[in-house]
Amino acid sequence: MARFCTLFSGSSGNCTYIATPAGGILIDVGVSARRIEAALRERGIDLRSIRAIFLTHEHTDHIVGLRAFLDKYEVPVYGSAGTVDGVPGPLALLPQVMAAPVELDGLRVTSFHTPHDSRESTGYCIETADGRKLAVATDLGCVTDTVRQALTGCDLVLIESNHDERMLRNGRYPAYLKQRIASDTGHLSNTACAAELAGLVQSGTSRIVLGHLSRENNLPQMAYQTAKQALLAAGLTERRDYLLSVAAPVGTEAVTLF
């Protein structure tokens, strides 16, 4: 049995909780430790059950709560060599380079490279002892073959659906920032995300969570409808073939996979 919850998702901060009855992990700690503690307690999660933290990359909205969290809870922290190298200042010695899969309390965590404008960003696949498989893939400008292979066959996928292309193009961001977001090392658009979903469902994915939505250049309903229309065009029906949801910036309800 696996439990999955996006505690925080978006440019203001990211943190995802994944667990078995024996213990759990956090992917990213992009808000304050106090907010993470409160979010876990609201869901009845014992903070002492957190066994490790995995960092996708070194941008602030993914690591800002790390120092304070580790001051209270002594857990190992893992990331790619580039991410570890990019973690700033007093945090620099804390993360360990994840050179091989990590196994703890019925979870086996592997990483895969994602195309983003950071030192060496990664996504994560998490396998449970009873054969469930989950994946987290946000902060990626495009879906590469490496990413696609990692997500294929997962029971649940959290995938970025960051922006609507028209909203980004016509929005108030300066030109350089629009170019960065829309690039192949920026963030995944609703349309690019939606184009991947039918293949995932056909490979066995039953739950899709759209994450890391932009507050400036997207709307939850727009991301949802873009994804749903692409799945419908492939002959796939919601609630029969898949379950689709959008991760809220704060406090998405936990999903339990049996």
Q: What is the DSSP pairing of strand 77-79 with strand 50-54? A: parallel
The structural domains of the chain, ordered by start, are 1-101 (3.60.15.10), 140-248 (no CATH)
What is the C-alpha separation between 35 and 62, in angstroms, rounded?
A: 14
Each residue's pLDDT expressed in tens, for the chain with a length of 258 residues: 789 999 999 989 999 999 998 899 999 999 999 999 999 999 889 888 999 999 999 999 999 999 899 888 889 999 999 999 888 765 545 678 888 899 998 999 999 999 999 999 999 999 999 899 999 999 999 999 999 999 999 999 999 999 999 999 999 999 999 999 999 999 999 999 999 999 999 999 999 999 999 999 999 999 999 999 999 999 999 999 999 999 998 877 667 664
Which sign does the torsion angle of CA 35, 251, 146, 24 carry? positive
Please report, for residues 16, 62, 129, 172, the alpha-carbon distance to residue 49 in angstroms, rounded to integers and kept in the order given: 14, 21, 17, 43
Can you give the pTM of this predicted structure? 0.94
CB count in 10 Å sphere of residue 65: 23
